[in-house]
Chain A
Amino acid sequence: MIKRSFFSLTQPRLKYDLLEADPKAPESIPIPPNLILLLNEALDNTKSIILKKGDKVKKGEKLSLYKDSTEYTISPVSGVINVIDTYSDDFGNKATYLVVRNDPQQASGEDIVKYELTDDIEVADQYLRTLPGAPPLKILASKENTIQTLVIMCTDQDILSTTAQYVAQSTMEEIKEGVRVLKRIANIMKMCLVVSQDTNMQTEFDGIQTFRVSKNYPSALPAMIMKDHLNMILPAGQSPEDVGVAFITAEAIVSIAKAYRTKTATYEKVLTVIGKDGQRHMIKATIGTPLRRIFNAFSLHINEKDRLIIGGPMKGFATYTHHHPVLPDMDTVIIQDRDLIPALSDNACINCGKCIKICPANIPVNLLVRLLEADQYEEAFDKFDLGSCIECGLCAYVCLARIPLYQYIRLGKHEFLKLKADA
């Protein structure tokens, strides 16, 4: 953990981690006997479900809960569905998880599903959404917003992770291939590539601009890239796709390239796993692999009260179970020792101003927090710029009173959107 320096007249600087010069190839984790797949749709007792316990599934088969579902997941193995149950996330949003028992016997040649991928983004969206890197095909295929600019992220958004950099560096040729596919299937006017300032990655592309972002967090967050490199200020309360910009990871582009080449899906996700000793392990695991398998493979220990962080230290989330599966967009997993977990408090804001100094979006966090604590979301949005927050987490990182500011802000946004939707 990076502590404030003894003298801190200037801002603390959180820096992105740079991929080492000569990275080792990721170690592959064998496919586990049971895989856990998340489906972004809640179980609904009033509808008749088309997936059942005991159903046989094929490798590459598209799985949805209901006939009219738009959400799906793809089974990375051939086998049998063992469990269908509810999963709820941080905010109490409901989703569903499936456990698929892997049956290697079943996975003979003709049991692997081939996709009819035509040069149409909507067809791609039918099959490729849950590929490693989680391609934003839903956004690209959406009729509501036309995406004019696609930003390919060859750098990591949160600190500590080097997954995106590794994938980008090791698969440049496939990224080019993926760009050609996307140009063919989607009508995107402009594509650009984001790399870290200090990388020596070769990014020579025809007709694609390369942006170099600084190594200071949060310069690689979408809103910051738009501001610094695209000269677009994200209007308060809107997401990049609302203004025609989409972000895609290098890994997702590569997945698309492979899918179009082979007409099948790929399932191996690259991720950085960081143990308590701070040691980084680059691994490759099949989507759906329970994290426990990975920890066992590297003898990484977790004890009572430790924290298991998915995503980075600034923007990630903590899971309550080591059975949590590898997900298509999971770049980093961190085991944080319980002794290193910073204590939060229920202090009130003391108006120290540290959050104001560090906030990249000029948000009056000291005033905002008072409204959020009082559940006044609308006023928080209208008068105190809740919608402008780019969700970097820096305010909570420095808060002297140790208020969980970032959580308040995320919850506030969530509640506000709910209010608006209900109105």
Chain B
Amino acid sequence: MNKYKLTVSHAPFWHDGDSLFQMNMNILLAALPAAIFGIFQFGASAFGVLALSVGSAMFWELVMNMVSKKPLSIGDLDAAVIGLMFGMMLPPITPWWVVITGTFVAVIVGKMIFGGIGANPFNPALIGMAILMLSWKAFFDFDTSLVDFVFDFTELAPLAAIKFQGAGAAEMFSVGDLFMGKEVGAIGSVFGLGLVLGGIYLILRGYIRWEISLSFIVGIIVTAFIFNMVNSENYAGPLFHLFSGYTLLGAFFLMTENSSSPVNTIPMFIYGFLGGLMIILMRNIGSYADGTVLAILLLNLVNPLIDNIRPKALGKGENNA
């Protein structure tokens, strides 16, 4: 009796139009200023590393999709984001096999074996980084990696410099230079201004949770400030820490990875703040020059515990009038 078939599905019949693709597209877009700056600063090899990283990350996901006979998921661009984040953390001169091993670990071990998007307890790109740093430490020494480059600014990786020469070395770097990318470092982490702009863009668009970024930055500043107050000879000041190493990349792109970070308000503040605190502790007390990678992974690990602090649902417990 029906001439035609109607679509039958369930309420709500509207959607705000958002999707995974949209979100990842925006994250890629937001990371572009910093990435492009890195390419200009460090040249074609930096471009090669980024391209290989993004490409191989997507390739690994595709392979995994086919092996496990799951629907292809690279179209949601999640692998591309992992690849770009991973590439941005690498030194401009990184052997190709290091890059593709890293993305293999990031995509396969960091994401796919946990069940794919949304199921990863750790930030996949950071898993890739952590494994590489443990295996081939030498490739992550920015100073040796960039030894053949000539720059018109201090040719030393800031965090390594203070690690080995003491906080006094921080004076070689003006905060303005650091912010504007005049520093030695990873492809995507040197251009502070670009990262901040990208981060603000993502916050305004609602694609990252501002609570995490903000409290992370506060954590960095407060902790570094206290160290610096207590002993300014040994410990560099807050702004130096904020604008060097992976700090800003961490604030807007790494800490905020959805699946490995909390979603409730109070937990987000705790998580962000602890992230900042841990990084400074690792830099000032631990043996690592940067510490961002391990600090964030550590926070990923405790995230489920932190995120347990959630408001009472309607009609449960004490809000019951």
CB distance from A166 to the nearest CB of B (A): 22
A228-282 interface with B by 8 A CB criterion: 231-238
Other CB < 8 Å A-B pairs besides A9-B205, A342-B17, 16 of them?
A1-B14, A9-B204, A90-B10, A234-B315, A236-B313, A237-B315, A307-B13, A316-B13, A318-B9, A318-B11, A319-B8, A336-B13, A341-B13, A350-B259, A363-B313, A366-B263
Asked if A190 lies at the interface with its beta carbon under 8 angstroms from chain B, I say: no
Contact B314 A397 (CB under 8 A): no
CB distance from B8 to the nearest CB of A (A): 5
Docked Cα-Cα span, A348 to B11, in Å, equals 19
From the candidates A2, A342, A350, name the one contacting B117 in the complex (CB within 8 A): A350
Contact A364 B310 (CB under 8 A): yes
CB distance from B214 to the nearest CB of A (A): 12
CB distance from B312 to the nearest CB of A (A): 6
**Nearest B-chain residue to A12, judged by Cβ:** B16
Q: Evaluate whether A223 and B314 lie within 8 angstroms (CB atoms) in the complex, with A9-B206, A306-B7 already known.
A: yes
Asked if A62 lies at the interface with its beta carbon under 8 angstroms from chain B, I say: no
From the candidates A317, A321, A397, name the one contacting B6 in the complex (CB within 8 A): A321
Q: Collect the chain A residues with CB atoms within 8 Å of residue B312's CB.
A: 362
20 A-B pairs with C-beta separation under 8 A: A2-B14, A6-B205, A7-B206, A9-B206, A90-B10, A234-B314, A236-B316, A307-B13, A313-B11, A314-B12, A318-B6, A321-B6, A348-B119, A349-B118, A351-B258, A354-B18, A361-B314, A362-B311, A388-B315, A404-B9
Q: Evaluate whether A388 and B13 lie within 8 angstroms (CB atoms) in the complex, with A347-B118, A356-B264, A366-B263 already known.
A: no
Q: Collect the chain A residues with CB atoms within 8 Å of residue B311's CB.
A: 362
Q: Evaluate whether A348 and B205 lie within 8 angstroms (CB atoms) in the complex, with A342-B14, A353-B263, A397-B16 already known.
A: no
A301-329 interface with B by 8 A CB criterion: 302-309, 311, 313-323
Main secondary structure of the interface of A (DSSP, over half): loop
Docked Cα-Cα span, A360 to B9, in Å, equals 24
Q: Collect the chain B residues with CB atoms within 8 Å of residue A184's CB.
A: none
Q: Collect the chain A residues with CB atoms within 8 Å of residue B315's CB.
A: 233-238, 361, 387-388
A interface residues with partner B (beta carbon < 8 Å): 1-4, 6-9, 12, 90, 223, 227, 231-238, 302-309, 311, 313-323, 334, 336, 338, 341-342, 344-345, 347-354, 356, 360-364, 366, 385, 387-388, 390, 393-394, 396-402, 404, 406-407, 410
Contact A361 B10 (CB under 8 A): no
B1-41 interface with A by 8 A CB criterion: 1-2, 4-20, 23
